[in-house]
Amino acid sequence: MKIELHDSHIRQIKEICDSFDNNPGELINVLHKTQNVFGYLPEEIQRVIARNLGIPVTRVYGVVSFYSFFTMKPKGKYAVSLCMGTACYVRGAEDVLDELKKELGIEVGGVTEDGKFSLDCLRCVGACGLAPVLMIGEKVYGRLTPSMVKGVLAEYE
Amino acid sequence: MDKIKLTIDNMPVEVVKGTTIFQAARQVGINIPALCYMNLEHLGVENRPGACRICVVEVEGRRNLAPSCSTDCTEGMVVKTNTPKVLNARKVVMELILSNHPNDCLACPSNNKCELQTLAATLGIREIPMVENAAMSTYRKDHSLSLQRDMDKCILCRRCETMCNDVQTVGALGTINRGFISVVAPAFEQDLADSSCVFCGQCVAVCPTGALTRTDDTGRVFKALADPTKTVVVQTAPAVRAALGEEFGIKPGTSVTGKMAAALRRLGFDKVFDTDFAADLTIMEEGTELLGRIGAFLGGDTSVKLPLLTSCCPAWINFFEQNYSDMLDQPSTAKSPQQMFGAVAKNYLAKKMGVKREDLVVVSVMPCIAKKYECTRKEFSVDGNPDVDISISTVELASMIKMANIDFVSLPDEDFDHPLGESTGAAVIFGATGGVMEAAVRTAYEVFTGKTLERLDFKELRGFEGIRTASVDFNGTTVNVCIAHQLGNARKVMDGVRSGELNFHAIEVMACPGGCIGGAGQPYHLGDSSVLKARAESLYKEDADKPLRKSHENPYITKLYEEFLGEPMSELAHHLLHTHYFDKHHKI
Amino acid sequence: MVQIKMHLLVCGGTGCRASESAVLVEQLNHQLKLNGLADEVKVITTGCFGFCEKGPIVKVIPDNTFYTNVTPEDAEEIVKEHVLKGRKVNRLLYEDPETQEHVSDSKHMEFYQKQVRIALRNCGFIDPENIDEYIVRDGYAALGQVLASDPKETIDIIKKSGLRGRGGAGFPTGLKWEIAAGNKADQKYVVCNADEGDPGAFMDRSILEGDPNSIIEAMAICGYCIGATKGLIYIRAEYPLAIHRLEIAIKQAREYGLLGKDILGSGFDFDIELRLGAGAFVCGEETALIHSMEGFRGEPTIKPPFPAQSGYLGKPTNVNNVETFANVPPIILKGWEWFNSIGSEKSKGTKVFALAGKINNVGLIEVPMGTTLRDVIFEIGGGIKDGKRFKAVQTGGPSGGCLTEQHLDTPIDFEHLAAAGSMMGSGGMIVMDEDDCMVSVAKFYLDFIVEESCGKCAPCRIGSKRMHEILEKICQGKGTMEDLDYLENLGKVIKDTALCGLGQTAPNPVLSTLLYFRDEYVAHVIDKKCPAGQCKALKSYTIDPEKCIGCTLCARTCPTNAIIGDKKVPHVIDQSKCIKCGACYDKCKFGAIQIR
């Protein structure tokens, strides 16, 4: 999937790179900021970043594909993230995950056809007291059971 | 220097501080096996990620095993390199690597040249546990004009990454993804042809497996040779003769020019010519161009472009077009020897032989795989018919000789055919870094000063140092020259030129370590850079032994100008032997 | 000026915020205003109290009343009853699970009684977004003291205190500082490793959220000692609240002259920047962390050179973990003798643990080194949830191991945990009960390692994948006894050969379960049974004909039509069609479906 960047986008990326003095050492901070603005980091954006920082695009892609926080695909309107930390795991997160996959009809890392939901797993959000924990956007749902999944998702219908 | 005493396998060893266990062991005849580690000492190139964990050894008092390639010796250290624990660990790690590696060795281009294969045998691997249900990391195959990528065979030694980034500063290859699916690839796993790859092939030259290999064009050559309607002529680059013998077990550094000519004739080439002839021609054109620019400069013309950059190396030209597209009128417009040969063959020789252009097939044997790409550049063909039809590497020629049942070692020495087979010593040294510059100086000096050179050997231009500079006195006029091999060194020089920090009259650049002798089309050096040194020495010896050692003394070159071209830089010469460059900035 | 009579401390840690503690604060303020108490009673959002199981928590000062599970709707009652009339809201008080009596204040709660709080000293007591509250509790006094003395003296104090790195390996902190101090360079760096990535651990996050200034102070102290003027905090991007609070703390510290040029007039300059991680567990390894901060892939490199010689940008760099830093100011103020008197023979001071899993009191605790696992799990942790049987406790996260009932009296310290086949790690402690299959647990950790392995060295990249595949095979009931032997040999080789700490410890969860729960592996392999009943592939669903009345509900629910039977006749499950989804089990109203 090719996307076209407008001049204003390219300017925006350039501003972000400039704000870090175009220092390649700040690549990860640049990527964070850019992903905050655009929601994801498609090929075209990575090329602009590489050019601004004066490094091979292979290095940018090497970093983007290394860290799980960076994504090259747009997320759903509502990003559903299930915690798969140990505490959540031993309290049944796997069953909740199965139910989520079934309800949304997508695998982990996928986006529903209407672009509404995306599903990801997280490694410990640190709310182990509420295990198993699910996040939709910024909102945290705790002490989940598979039977609660439908109701939680319904809030976003 | 501080000395350290230790024991390795109960043998006392004394080494200089900073020596690794791996190096220390070699001193006492213990060759610890290694896979990712590579040290091209003469070139200052080292790859030591400590990634394969094959070279592990036991060190007394240490909790786990130590990677010998990257563990420094310490005083009183007690090292064991072959205990059951070590052997078991090495074997298990090797089994793991093999469990994620295709086992199609018999049909692999690297069969019998594969370091992984050799190591598996050395370590006594007899089975690969649980292959049946094991996942393999697999990737899309990538075929380019010059090289083939089959990354299923990648073992992540990172040598190619080191060459592409640290040595060549091309940055086309890098490690991508994380964990089990990590692999070395261009960004977005795109094709190499769409990346900033310049086809220098140094990644291929160091790959220990069949992950990165040369594109094989031998089939096309055999087909042309068997076609009765075609006249097939061949040209062989200078560096080929210095390395071809290695493929037949002949000691590195043995020049096999005569046997090579004989073998080519037996393969059925109608004429066996020499790229060296075209190298002499290159000197005539490029040398004249250089003198013209210097003359104009001395005459007060400030618009003249200096330094002149050599243009023989296609990988360098790619690199230049991508990175220095603001300086497109800087390089010599002279085509590379391969392409000069092609142009002369198709426009002069064909007529002389009474063959139609399209019925003449020009094959080149090159130490290089970028040449495969170079001969497909659009500007080097006429109505879709390329000046050079097929370019094969040294190794491909060796494979053809073997396939054709020719006993290379017992072949007699034969000569090249005329007229495009005659050359001088100046052309022979084109194959080593600094050779083009030395050849150019020999001719330019005599043309410029009208005097005969007393000393032909310019030792100051030779050697393996990455960047070398020299000043040559042209009868009162000082000519400053620079030589760089490996593109990272070229970048350093070019950045200095661009900023105005460095001032030279001429710069020679070769992309590969040691020049063409270290090209990716040559037999594997297996990480032993002394092989490259030996090849260079054999070229300088051949030069010294030649009766003619200056390009302008080549009688067939003189004849070519008289009969056909007129004079260097004439209109026809310009049309046939010169080219222009393109802005490829968008590729980086 | 009106005197403040009462403080309401509301937990603002990530866990309690997820349970609407921010709304609760709003409601409390609203109610106070309605009742004209806004000037006399102050609501403070604090860091984590540690008692996450019963969050959100509200603590009333001065009487230490400890309200649990407080919802925004409870605000009115707390204000009207407790604040206005002085009557405690009994229903919100913590109920002792044994006596079932309400406990009136935190001092009488077993959860807190056994704890000694050094690193967590301010968490739950102060507003982390207000530097004044930190300063009132002796904050930055240690820095002042250090800046007036010779750096060598401070290093000596840290060395004598016996403080060891809390990130996992337990390297002596004072020695680390001394080495970094001894290396000459024009620039040195102090790095705080806040890339807490253990699944199920949130110690560092809680400290940063609850007491960010303690880290800033300690980093400045370290900078002064080793001769560094720059500090960097490498923190997970997944911790937005901690990042936010650190940013505030750094800003306030600069305003107060506690960071920046000429700190407290000593001539010493020090400032701190934040660097965000991007989701890679391996970046907890210090060389990988440094590469990540430099904008590269977080791949570890061989040591030596150690960061103390050549670290960030090739300069001498001292990397310490959050909890390690948090211990530094109290050691300076109270003396090394005090710290050294706490803990066990070789492990001094306290350790923070994130207690989680099948335990009643999930939360954050801090205990003296040498406390037994039994005390932590059964006294502080309140025992196993739902009256189940204790089976194992996992310490050290993916690098650690599983310990059993026989280890319950093991004192928790670096040496004893390692001797038992686990490790201290950064402080994750997950309790498991009889329903947890230990092969699955090992598989869970290996799954994590496979996902998080950087891929650089062959043993970890391929070896952990193979181990995971074998475990998968065993959980499917397809394992062989040879697999167990291979697993063991493979595990040992990976330990011996992997490049970094992540790889070298990756086999621990497998090796420790193989050692202590071998019979469970054997049951999977020989009997094709999962004793805990967790492995789906080894479960079989059958219908008890005695209990089945033939209502057909199960047959209609079954997604693969595996259940056959006529109305009012006991049904049968066709095992070849059954996919073990459990739908019939959930639907049956008569308990006729059996799982074996």
| Stronger pLDDT, A89 or B209, i.e. the higher one | B209
- Is 90 exceeded by the pLDDT of residue C196? no
Residues in chain A predicted with pLDDT less than 50, given as ranges, are: none
Catalytic site residue from B289, B321, B438, B542: B289
Q: Do C465 and B72 touch (CB under 8 A)?
A: no
Can you give the pLDDT at residue B206?
A: 95
Report chain A residues whose CB lies below 8 A from the CB of B170.
56
Q: Give CA angle at A54 (B196, C233), nearest 5°.
A: 125
Residue A31 lies in a domain: yes
Report chain A residues whose CB lies below 8 A from the CB of C189.
none
Report chain B residues whose CB lies below 8 A from the CB of A58.
171-174, 176, 185-187, 195
- Is 70 exceeded by the pLDDT of residue B131? no
Establish if C298 touches chain A: CB-CB under 8 angstroms: yes
For chain A, list residues whose CB is within 8 angstroms of any CB belonging to chain B. Answer: 43, 46, 55-62, 65-68
The H or E element spanning position B199 is none
Query: Is residue B332 among the annotated active site residues?
Result: yes
pLDDT in tens, B59-98: 999 989 999 999 999 999 999 999 999 999 999 999 999 9
Residue A73 lies in a domain: no
Residue A1 lies in a domain: no
Establish if C280 touches chain A: CB-CB under 8 angstroms: yes
CA B452, distance to chain mean position in Å, is 33
Can you give the pLDDT at residue B132?
A: 61
Whether residue A84 sits in one domain with residue A112: yes
Nearest CA in chain C to A61: C297
Establish if C411 touches chain A: CB-CB under 8 angstroms: no
Query: Is residue B379 among the annotated active site residues?
Result: yes
For residue B195, what are its two tokens? Answer: 């990346």
For chain B, what percent of residues have pLDDT higher than 90?
A: 91
Residue A70 lies in a domain: no
| Chain B nearest CA to A57, separation (Å) | 6
Can you give the pLDDT at residue C209?
A: 92
Report chain C residues whose CB lies below 8 A from the CB of A23.
295
Q: Across the A/B interface, how many CB contacts are shorter than 8 Å?
A: 41
Query: Is residue B562 among the annotated active site residues?
Result: no
Contact in structure between B259 and B408 (CB atoms under 8 Å):
yes
Whether residue A34 sits in one domain with residue A99: no
Residue A71 lies in a domain: no
Can you give the pLDDT at residue C504?
A: 94
CATH of the domain at B286: 3.40.950.10
Q: Do B176 and A61 touch (CB under 8 A)?
A: yes
Residue B483 lies in a domain: yes
| Chain A nearest CA to C240, separation (Å) | 10
Nearest CA in chain A to B165: A56
- Please name the chains neighbouring B, where neighbouring means 3+ C-beta pairs under 8 angstroms: A, C
**Is it true that the peptide bond before B419 is cis, omega within 30 degrees of 0?**
yes
Query: Is residue B374 among the annotated active site residues?
Result: yes
Q: Give CA angle at C463 (B115, C295), nearest 5°.
A: 85
Whether residue A44 sits in one domain with residue A82: no
pLDDT in tens, C57-70: 999 988 889 999 99
Whether residue A82 sits in one domain with residue A58: no
* Facing residue for B188 by CB, picked from A43, A55, A56: A43
Catalytic site residue from B153, B259, B371, B550: B371
Catalytic site residue from B144, B195, B196, B332: B332
Q: Do A58 and B177 touch (CB under 8 A)?
A: no
Establish if C12 touches chain A: CB-CB under 8 angstroms: no
- Is 90 exceeded by the pLDDT of residue C579? no
CB atoms within 10 A of CB C378: 18
Q: Give the integer Cα–Cα distance in Å for C346 and C414.
A: 8
Report chain A residues whose CB lies below 8 A from the CB of C559.
none
- Is 60 exceeded by the pLDDT of residue C1? no
Residue B230 lies in a domain: no
What is the arithmetic mean of pLDDT over B328-344? 96
Q: Give the integer Cα–Cα distance in Å for B534 and C325.
A: 58
For chain C, what percent of residues have pLDDT higher than 70?
A: 100
Q: Do B171 and A58 touch (CB under 8 A)?
A: yes
Q: Do C238 and A29 touch (CB under 8 A)?
A: no
pLDDT in tens, C346-371: 999 999 999 988 999 988 999 999 99
Residue B77 lies in a domain: yes
pTM over 0.90: yes
Q: Do C18 and A89 touch (CB under 8 A)?
A: no
Establish if C237 touches chain A: CB-CB under 8 angstroms: yes
- Please tell me which of B295-299, B372-376, C528-532, C575-579 the model is most confident about, judged by mean pLDDT: B372-376
- Reported as a pLDDT band with limits 50, 70 and 90, residue B184 is very high
Write the CB contacts of C182 (distance below 8 Å, at least 6 apart in sequence).
none
Question: Within B404-560, where are the H helices?
Answer: 425-428, 435-449, 487-499, 530-545, 555-560
Can you give the pLDDT at residue B405?
A: 97
Write the CB contacts of B195 (distance below 8 Å, at least 6 apart in sequence).
A58, B172, B186, B187, B587
- Is 70 exceeded by the pLDDT of residue B471? yes
Q: Do C199 and A84 touch (CB under 8 A)?
A: yes
Cα distances from C59 to residues C44, C49, C56, in angstroms, run: 10, 9, 10
Q: Do A142 and C18 touch (CB under 8 A)?
A: yes
Overall number of domains in chain A: 2
Nearest CA in chain A to B179: A66
Whether residue A103 sits in one domain with residue A35: no
**Residue of C297, C303, C309, C462 to mutate, testing the B interface (most B Cβ within 10 Å of its Cβ):** C462
What is the arithmetic mean of pLDDT over B492-518? 96
Can you give the pLDDT at residue B302?
A: 84
**Domain housing B554:** 282-334+424-587
Query: Is residue B95 among the annotated active site residues?
Result: no
Q: The dihedral of CA C249, C253, C254, C260: what is its sign? A: negative
Report chain B residues whose CB lies below 8 A from the CB of C463.
92-93, 96
- Is 60 exceeded by the pLDDT of residue C110? yes
| Chain A nearest CA to C345, separation (Å) | 31
- Is 90 exceeded by the pLDDT of residue B145? yes
Do the interacting molecules here have an ipTM over 0.90?
A: yes
State the residue for tokens 């950064």: C426
Contact in structure between C119 and C305 (CB atoms under 8 Å):
no
Report chain C residues whose CB lies below 8 A from the CB of A27.
295-296
**Residue of A2, A45, A57, A58 to mutate, testing the B interface (most B Cβ within 10 Å of its Cβ):** A58
Whether residue A82 sits in one domain with residue A31: no
Q: Across the B/C interface, how many CB contacts are shorter than 8 Å?
A: 103
The H or E element spanning position C593 is strand C593-595
* Facing residue for A58 by CB, picked from B173, B177, B178: B173
Can you give the pLDDT at residue A123?
A: 76
Where a domain ends, among B89, B122, B155?
B122
pLDDT in tens, C381-437: 999 988 999 999 999 888 889 999 999 999 999 999 988 888 888 888 999 999 999
For residue B193, what is the DSSP state? G
Catalytic site residue from B286, B321, B422, B508: B286
Q: Do C497 and B53 touch (CB under 8 A)?
A: yes
Q: Is B431 helix (H, G, I), strand (E, B) or coil?
A: helix
Residue A25 lies in a domain: yes
- Reported as a pLDDT band with limits 50, 70 and 90, residue B309 is very high
- Reported as a pLDDT band with limits 50, 70 and 90, residue C2 is low
CATH of the domain at A149: 3.40.30.10
pLDDT in tens, C301-323: 998 889 999 999 999 999 999 99
| Chain C nearest CA to A51, separation (Å) | 15
Q: Is B479 helix (H, G, I), strand (E, B) or coil?
A: strand
- Reported as a pLDDT band with limits 50, 70 and 90, residue B256 is very high
Contact in structure between C151 and C224 (CB atoms under 8 Å):
yes
Write the CB contacts of B533 (distance below 8 Å, at least 6 apart in sequence).
B42, B253, B464, B514
Whether residue A120 sits in one domain with residue A59: no
Overall number of domains in chain B: 2
Residue B322 lies in a domain: yes
Report chain B residues whose CB lies below 8 A from the CB of C488.
none
What is the arithmetic mean of pLDDT over C251-277? 95
CB atoms within 10 A of CB A3: 12
**Domain housing A52:** 7-64
**Residue of A65, A69, A73, A123 to mutate, testing the B interface (most B Cβ within 10 Å of its Cβ):** A65
- Is 90 exceeded by the pLDDT of residue C180? yes
Residue-range domains of chain C with CATH: 6-113 (3.40.30.10), 131-339 (3.40.50.11540), 350-433 (3.10.20.600), 438-527 (1.20.1440.230), 540-595 (3.30.70.20)
- Reported as a pLDDT band with limits 50, 70 and 90, residue B395 is very high
- Reported as a pLDDT band with limits 50, 70 and 90, residue B396 is very high
Q: Across the A/C interface, how many CB contacts are shorter than 8 Å?
A: 132
Where a domain ends, among A17, A37, A64?
A64
Query: Is residue B542 among the annotated active site residues?
Result: no
- Is 60 exceeded by the pLDDT of residue B253? yes
Where a domain ends, among B122, B153, B172?
B122
pLDDT in tens, C279-304: 899 999 999 999 999 999 999 999 88
Whether residue A131 sits in one domain with residue A82: yes
Residue A2 lies in a domain: no
